[in-house]
Homo-oligomer: A and B are copies of this chain.
Amino acid sequence: MTLPNLSIDVDRFWATIEASAAIGPGRKGGLRRLALDAADAEMRRLFTGWCEEAGYAVTTDRLGDLFARRPGRDESLAPVLIGSHLDTQAAGGRYDGIVGVLAGLEVMRSLDDLKIETERPIEVVNWTNEEGARFTPPMMASQVFAGRQTLEWALARTDDAGVTVADALAEHGLAGEAPVGGRAIDSYFELHIEQGPDLEAAGVPLGIVTGGYVARGMRIGIDGDNAHSGPTPMHRRKNALVGAAQAAVAVDEIGWRYAHLDGKTTIARLEAWPNKPGILSSEATLFVDFRSPDAATTQSMEAEIRAALPEAARRSNCTVTIVEDWTFGGPAFDPDLMDLCRRTAERLGVATLDLMSQAGHDAYHLSHLCPSVLLFTPCVDGISHNEAEATTAADQAPGVTVLLNAVAERAGVGP
């Protein structure tokens, strides 16, 4: 059968977004809802309440991931999973991640309204610590769910105060008994604001993400030596802060040299010890990342960065070493699911644009476990990870409607 065009309740969906926007307010109108903090716990309670009122069983796994399940006609089938995250950056917006989880809830509620049963169960997930704003790395729980890291590894991550994920889960009673992953998932749908300007610029409400920019991250260690900041002459100084600043400037300038290819470099984090007046710092750590649309360009940027670090070392009399590095991005998403979303959008009269993602998303990890798709919706001026992040119900509605119809088709509707 051909599926009829299904509709969401935009006002109800937007009411959930606005309720979320009141929990963990930031300093400038956005949100500060760090993974597993008190605000995150409150948001989880609200979300769980909505799900349970609607009759969806909510399961919590040992990393605090929440799964709300709408049963299928055949409960032996693997579920279609929709999700994203409810945590935010320290100075985050109201939509990043949140739109994806609450769109999943709206999909299930709309199916209820329409009294539509699906063959497969549908589940909505809220992943723990997607942002990495409290615990490094980001996309922590989806990585474990997809079998790419161990539960023990995740539970032992610490925040800046030395609190482990395990302790943070225990503090607000956010860990459940369910194992993390280890079960079949039919497919994964993630809807997310674009965090870039392309959809808005093109006047198109939905992006089909074909893959990610090829991104590399590095933790760079700088070793110098403590000395008095007064008498020590310049040539005897080994100030790790100077080494870190030299490396940071070099990496930043490489970003500008690749900007014409849409390459970019980020000075993400700088720590030094003791980092105090009166004494030269003996140790520093610099986190950088860099990315471009293709592997060859990213590789070339990496070669330039590696070549620049000895100069930073020379200028600071420190040693500068790449302690750890990692890669993410590249092609990831399922062609059939992308086609399903494109066809569904066309049927609904929603224009789409093929895009690449420039940020990390849980969908990247899920793509190693099951066919996955990532959909982008517009955000004003491409501003994200900023309290000024903005969008409207009208700009989100087409994407959520496509998600509803595509998920319904994937989960199986009909006699």
Contacts and interface: CB of A to CB of B under 8 A. Distances in A.
A99 to B, nearest CB: 15
Interface residues of A, number: 75
Given A138-B277, A255-B234, A385 B217 contact: no
Interface string A83-126: 00000011110000000000000000000000000000000000
A232 interface: yes
Given A132-B277, A234-B259, A385 B229 contact: yes
Contact of A385 (B195, B279, B289): B279
A228 B268 CA distance: 10
Interface in A313-344: 315-316
A279 B91 contact: yes
B259 A226 contact: no
Interface string A269-280: 111111111111
A241 B289 CA distance: 14
Given A274-B90, A278-B131, A264 B359 contact: no
A228 B195 contact: yes
Interface in A229-264: 229-237, 239, 241-242, 244-246, 248-249, 252, 255-256, 259, 262, 264
A215 interface: yes
Oligomer: number of copies = 2
Given A245-B249, A259-B233, A90 B276 contact: yes
A198 to B, nearest CB: 9
A233 B241 CA distance: 27
Contact of A358 (B196, B231, B387): B231
Given A234-B256, A244-B245, A246-B249, A268 B359 contact: no
A382 interface: yes
A132 B384 contact: no
A277 B264 contact: no
A225 to B, nearest CB: 7
Contact of A266 (B213, B280, B385): B280
A266 to B, nearest CB: 4
A372 interface: no
Contacts of A278: 89, 131-133, 138, 268, 359-360, 385
A168 interface: no
A382 B235 CA distance: 13
A322 B138 CA distance: 35
Contact of A287 (B195, B262, B277): B277
B90 A279 contact: yes
Given A226-B385, A279-B385, A234 B264 contact: yes
Contact of A274 (B133, B280, B359): B133
Contact of A230 (B272, B277, B291, B315): B291
A232 B388 CA distance: 14
Contacts of A246: 245, 249, 252
Contacts of A239: 252, 266-267
14 contacts: A132-B278, A215-B230, A226-B385, A228-B358, A229-B289, A234-B259, A234-B265, A235-B259, A245-B252, A268-B277, A269-B275, A278-B359, A278-B360, A280-B385
Given A138-B278, A231-B358, A231-B359, 12 more contacts: A89-B226, A90-B279, A91-B282, A194-B231, A215-B230, A227-B383, A227-B385, A232-B382, A246-B252, A270-B270, A278-B360, A280-B385
